[in-house]
Amino acid sequence: MKKLLILLLALILMLPLCGCEKDKPIDDNNNNDNTDNSSFSKVVAVDNQECSIVIKGVDLKNSAGLALKAELINKSGSKTLMFSIKEATINGVDCETMFSWMGAPKEKYNDDIVLLSNLLKENGVGDFTDIQITFFVYDVDNWEGGAVALETVHIYPYGQDKASKYVREEKPSDNVIVDNDYVKVVVVSYDPNGQNGYTVTMFLVNKTDNIAMFAVYDSYINGTFIYPYWVVYVSRQGCAFSSITWSPDSLKEKGIKEVEKIAILLEAVNYENWQGDYYVKETFTLIP
């Protein structure tokens, strides 16, 4: 039942991650507002009869991570359009984003598309040389009618010749709790003083050609149940860093002063066929 409830929520929040790849660099040095990336040229990510999305600059020093300076235009004369992102990666590693905009007919808007990349930096991803984003635009009054735009674009802050893909090297401190034909899960670190509370950081690898959904439905800290909410989607043949966090208030409420043992029920499934077989469904005990 828990699985069904979370999956129903996931279906509301997320549509299939897909799109056709499209790169359109335009040399326009007079319009570059990028920071510390002189090789960057304006990129037209979407341009059709209904809408356009133009990336005019890259800010690599944004406090939340990485920000793309975007110009968004609803060209339609009658439709209210929702501009969103279905998938984003940095150097091949999945990355969460902060972006959505609902534009009225003929409305134009400039906004920062923020990629929450600080966790990637903390885990050694390094220079951000290849940013891949799938944009999804749809009519808010007819969202079942299909995409107004569904395009994937690469953005190379230092030029395409400098693009690289992240490959994580194994460390002595790694705790590999799953490594099968479908997925790999590595516990990377524990942080009692994480930004939002006690934090366990994991590196997730999806070996399949399907979108994998990882989730933790139950967790016990020192034998005491504390309900988590952790659901992560990893792209086809992709990887991601993600953190499970327990707030100080939730630990205090249960009388837990020091975390000595963590038990989690970890599940992973094919997001597009969640009634199929599990990639993994097992309870793991972690000793920080």
Distance CA 77, CA 209 (A): 39
Task: Please give the C-alpha separations between residue 248 and each of 136, 202, 256, in angstroms, as whole numbers.
Answer: 37, 20, 9
Predicted pLDDT at 123: 92
- 224-225 and 212-221 as β-strands: parallel, antiparallel, unpaired? antiparallel
- Cβ atoms of residues 71 and 56 within 8 Å: yes
Angle subtended at Cα 158 by Cα 156 and Cα 159, rounded to the nearest 5 degrees: 60
Predicted pLDDT at 228: 85
Burial class (CB in 10 A: 0-12, 13-18, 19+), 159: middle
The total number of residues written for the chain in this structure: 288
Which residue ranges of the chain lie beneath pLDDT 70? Answer: 1-39
Predicted pLDDT at 13: 40
Q: What confidence tens digit (pLDDT) does each residue in 98-123 have?
A: 899 999 999 999 999 999 999 999 99
Q: What confidence tens digit (pLDDT) does each residue in 138-153 have?
A: 999 987 888 999 999 9
Strand order in the sheet with 66-74: 43-47, 51-59, 66-74, 108-115, 97-98
CA nearest neighbour of 2 among 247, 212, 218: 218
Map out the domains of the chain with their CATH numbers: 17-162 (2.60.40.2550), 172-286 (2.60.40.2550)
DSSP 260: -
Secondary structure element (H or E) that encloses residue 11, with its range: helix 2-13
Predicted pLDDT at 35: 47
